[in-house]
A and B are shown apart, each in its own frame.
Chain A
Amino acid sequence: MPDLVRMTAIGKRYGGVRACHEVDFVLGAGEVHALLGENGAGKSTLMKILSGDVTEYDGSIAINGVPVRFGGPTDAQAAGIAMIHQELDLVPGLSVADNIFLGRELRTAVRTVDRRRMEREARELLDRSGVSLDPRRPVGDLRVGEQQLVTIAKAISLDARVLIMDEPTSALTSSEVERLFDVIRELRQSGVGIVYISHRMEEISRVADRATVLRNGSIVTSFDPRELSTAEVVEAMVGRPVQTMFTTPDSATGDELLRVENLRLKARRPRPGRRDPDGISLTVRAGEIVGLAGLLGAGRTELLETLYGVAPGGTHTGRILLQGKPIRPRGPRQALAHGIGFVPEDRRTSGLVLFHSILANTVVSSLPAYGRLGVIARRRERAASVRMADRLRLKFGRLQDEVGTLSGGNQQKVVFGRMLLTEPKLLLLDEPTRGVDVGAKAEIYRLLGELAAQGLGVLLASSELPELVGVCDRVVVLRDGRDVASFSTAESGEGDLLAAAMGQIEVGGMP
């Protein structure tokens, strides 16, 4: 019997960057095939080719032995291929049921939309995925994780033979992940082939039958995920042995840089789902990396936004002191002028102009430095951009290339580079390694270590406990907009952080 999917000698270039080169990929019916690799290794490109998103490529594809060439995603869907994108493609204003049946609404006898039947079937689909969600709720009101489950239910409802999941668990809770795995097992039983893209090694060893590692657009190795250790897999992805992912915390820190005292923000118009600071105290010393831990909705992002001056309007109480002087940033320009830089959580919507050049995106925060009287000295801005690209080990073709053509990790480096060019004293980082592959993560950690050694203070919000424990000198735990504990990472582990974040122990506020 022919293979469900056979991709042969697939090649694709973006500008000067080779995204895929002579890739052979086979997926059998009832197989869960994990695809691994750093960002920019070519996983997404390969799957975009399979799902019809990318139509110009070298090589050939056969489905059940029949050669195909898709003219677009619709062709691929007709051939039974469905993709769950990393960027959720849902319409926020429509209900869960409407989203699931978008474009193929169920009709009544008189051709009107059969809302009742859609809601019933949506509920069945969601139940099958083990999710208890009201199908009438607007998708925009759901948590990101819940939205992710809706896209999965939607993909399943297409009765696809091939299901491509791009980081399906990135925003799911552990119990939701378990239910997803049950669904995957069920689908596998019924002969569906699944491509599973993820950065999380432990998931892959649990759910996948086979794993393939891509590096720089080519296949490096293919193996049974139960037989290789995580270290071996990471080595295959990165192309060199990885001793430690994390830099050793440098305990030699300098003077107090930032001091937050009992910071409270009472929003003029409170927004649902926002947890504004409600009495937070903490300090960051020069050369110190301080982590911000906490569950979803604990107020980590909101604290960083308040410090950067971009929180919604309202009244502040408490004090923010930078190098001993009280400040009250009213916006990014003021914050940057004080020497506070910010790397936002979502680089695509808040970080970059994706269709502008790498150069323009890198220098936009530090333009006055390259010119006089409002005229830009092109050679100087170019030099600054090249210098930053080298320092961050950015992988790119030309500085004029659109930043959107870079991989996620490299896009993140551009946002970092932009902030570093403003020569900040304090960096506020919101989930700086989300959606970033192992290699780029290691480079970001290395960079943070370097910056701290140069006396920069870093406040790092992250949901990844190993990251917080590994990278930070100290971690402050937030819960419900308050700081509830502070740990030195030399003495405490992930368990302590989690316990504090979940409210099992209460340790008094920071001095």
Chain B
Amino acid sequence: MTDVQDRTVAPGRDGPVEQRSLAATLFRFQSVFGLIAVFVAAIIFSPRKNGEILFVSADNLANVVRAVSEIGIIAVGMTFVILIGGIDLSVGAVLGLAAVGSAVLMVENDWGFLPSVVLVLAIGLVFGALQGAATAMIGIQSFIVTLAGLQIARGLARIWSGGQGVAIAYGDGPKEAPASFALLGERTFGGLVPIPVLIFAVVAIAAVVFLRVSAFSRHLYAVGGNEKAARLSGVPVVRVKIAVFAICGLLASLAGIVHAVQLNQGSPNDGIGYELDAIAAVVIGGTSLAGGRGSVAGTVAGALLLGVLNNILALNNIDSNIQLLIKGLVIVAAAALQRLRPAS
């Protein structure tokens, strides 16, 4: 048959093909290039002290990643949700609930470190799974379900904390959290990497590997790409959706624990608006809000880009309102770049 010849039309060695894939590569890693550009700009515009560039000092860089780690962890979960064509507006509130939970359990209930963390993570997981079930089984749009979830989680956090922030003191006595919890915030890994950053790195790498090798990830991308086709192909759509929202909830509560330990308190107002920063990181990272295409690596770059941007603006004492303005423009620019993605 002639088909065999046709199929071997110099696969991959063709002019247009090479060009297309180069362009495709550029777009695929647009957030990485964006990150590099912002990083270089940060070095150029960094204030200097005694000839030292403040931005690249070890302390400052550690601060950047430390500040990014919470949003980063949430954004990884958000990437999963957006890849299936959904959205999770509840993550900031779940973070608050988890921070409150950690503080109350350890300080007021005198729970140990491990049981507290396990319970808090389980709450996030179940909360996410319930939201996933509501959207997958009842068929309510995830925007609505998680908008409700946001209110519910925030309400639960207020009730649990009595409406006030719960400060975390450390020690062995009553009304004191175990010292091991404090180590999470203070300890560094190898004397350099703060534990929250390490947690973010582990989460991100695990997610990248998971999306690359697992059969589940194929199902996930298929659901986001064309839900009807995925269902008819035998993809367990309901299970995939519940799992994805559960993962997102779990990661939001993990970020809540990190948040509590960094601020030594749990407040029902923690994490307000974090969902929007997480969505911004995902969008800058090149993941399509329509679902079915995108990557965690892009999201990590997007989160770092936002972190570097915040940091350099703060170092230069730029007015915080102007900071918001610049952040907004960066999001629009990232989205505009995606529109230029080579048509297929």
Would B226 and A332 count as touching, CB distance under 8 A? no
Please indicate the chain A residues that have their CB under 8 angstroms from the CB of B11 in the complex.
16, 397-398
A395 interface residue per 8 A CB criterion: yes
A274 at interface by CB-CB < 8 Å: no
For B214, the chain A residues whose CB sits under 8 A away are 374-376
CB < 8 Å: which of A375, A398, A404 contacts B215?
A375
| A239-B2, A367-B215, A402-B344 given; A18·B231 CB < 8 A | no
Q: Is B336 interfacial (CB 8 A cutoff)?
A: no
- In Å, the complex CA distance between A365 and B228 comes to 13
Say whether A445 faces chain B, with CB atoms less than 8 Å apart. no
How many Å lie between the Cα of A393 and that of B5 in the bound state? Answer: 11
Q: Is the CB of B219 within 8 A of A310?
A: no
Does B216 interact with chain A (Cβ within 8 Å)?
yes
B234 to chain A, nearest CB (A): 4
Contacts of A375 in B (CB 8 A): 213-215
Judge whether B20 and A15 touch: CB under 8 Å. yes
* Cβ–Cβ contact A332 & B215, under 8 A: no
Say yes or no: B232 contacts A360, CB within 8 Å: no
Q: List residues of chain B with CB within 8 A of the CB of A216.
A: 2, 6
User: Does A344 sit at the interface, judged by CB under 8 A?
Assistant: yes
**Cβ proximity bits B195-227 to A, threshold 8 Å, 1 near / 0 not:** 000000000000000000111101101100110
* Distance from A113 Cβ to chain B, minimum over Cβ atoms (Å): 30
Q: Could you tell me if B14 and A16 are in contact, using CB atoms closer than 8 angstroms?
A: yes
Judge if B138 is at the interface, Cβ distance under 8 Å.
Answer: no
Question: How far apart sit A333 and B236, CA to CA, in the bound complex (Å)?
Answer: 7
Given contacts A16-B12, A351-B232, A404-B344, whether A364 and B222 have CB atoms under 8 Å apart is yes
- Please give the distance in Å from B246's CB to the nearest CB on chain A: 16
Q: Which of A17, A368, A389 is within 8 Å of B9, CB to CB?
A: A17
Q: How far is the CB of A316 from chain B (nearest CB, A)?
A: 20
Q: How far is the CB of A377 from chain B (nearest CB, A)?
A: 9
The size of the chain A interface, using a CB distance under 8 A, is: 47
Q: Which of B216, B234, B292 contacts A332 (CB 8 A)?
A: B234
Residue among B3, B9, B233, B234 with max Cβ neighbours from chain A (10 Å): B233
Q: How far is the CB of A390 from chain B (nearest CB, A)?
A: 8
Which A residue's beta carbon lies closest to that of B226?
A: A353
> A15 to nearest B CB, angstroms?
5
User: Does B272 count as interface, using CB distance less than 8 angstroms?
Assistant: no
Q: Is the CB of A353 within 8 A of B215?
A: no
Given contacts A344-B232, A350-B228, A353-B230, contact A360 B222 (CB under 8 A): yes
State which of B218, B235, B344 has its C-beta within 8 Å of the C-beta of A355: B344
Complex Cα gap A332–B238 (Å): 12
List residues of chain B with CB within 8 A of the CB of A351.
229, 232
Q: B231–A310 contact, CB under 8 A? A: yes
Contact residues in A for B213 (Cβ distance below 8 Å): 375-376
CA distance A331 to B233 in the complex (A): 10
Chain A: minimal CB distance from B339 (Å): 15
Q: Find residues 229-270 in chain B having any chain A CB closer than 8 Å to their own CB.
A: 229-236
A170 touches B (CB below 8 Å): no
Cβ of B17 within 8 Å of any chain A Cβ, yes or no, is yes
Given A364-B222, A393-B3, A396-B7, A356–B292 Cβ distance below 8 Å? yes
Which residues from chain B contact A342 at a C-beta distance below 8 Å? 232
Distance, CA A436 to CA B225, complexed state (A): 24
Is A367 touching B218 in the complex (CB atoms < 8 A)? Answer: yes
A residues 325-368 near B (Cβ < 8 Å) are: 331-333, 335-336, 342, 344, 349-356, 360, 363-365, 367-368
Q: Does B191 contact A (CB under 8 A)?
A: no
Are the C-beta atoms of B3 and A394 separated by less than 8 Å? yes
Q: Is A371 an interface residue (CB 8 A)?
A: yes
- Contact indicator B226/A354 (Cβ below 8 Å): yes
* B293 with A355: CB separation less than 8 A: yes
Inter-chain CA distance A396–B3, complex, in Å, is: 9
Return 12 A-B CB contacts under 8 Å, by A number. Answer: A16-B11, A216-B6, A332-B231, A332-B233, A349-B229, A351-B229, A356-B225, A365-B234, A395-B3, A395-B6, A397-B7, A418-B233
Interface residues of A (CB under 8 A from B): 13, 15-18, 216, 239, 308, 310, 331-333, 335-336, 342, 344, 349-356, 360, 363-365, 367-368, 370-371, 374-376, 389, 393-398, 402, 404-405, 418, 422
- Residues of B whose CB lies within 8 Å of any CB of A are 1-4, 6-7, 9-12, 14, 16-17, 20, 213-216, 218-219, 221-222, 225-226, 228-236, 292-293, 344
Nearest 4 interchain pairs by C-beta: A353-B225, A367-B215, A353-B226, A336-B234
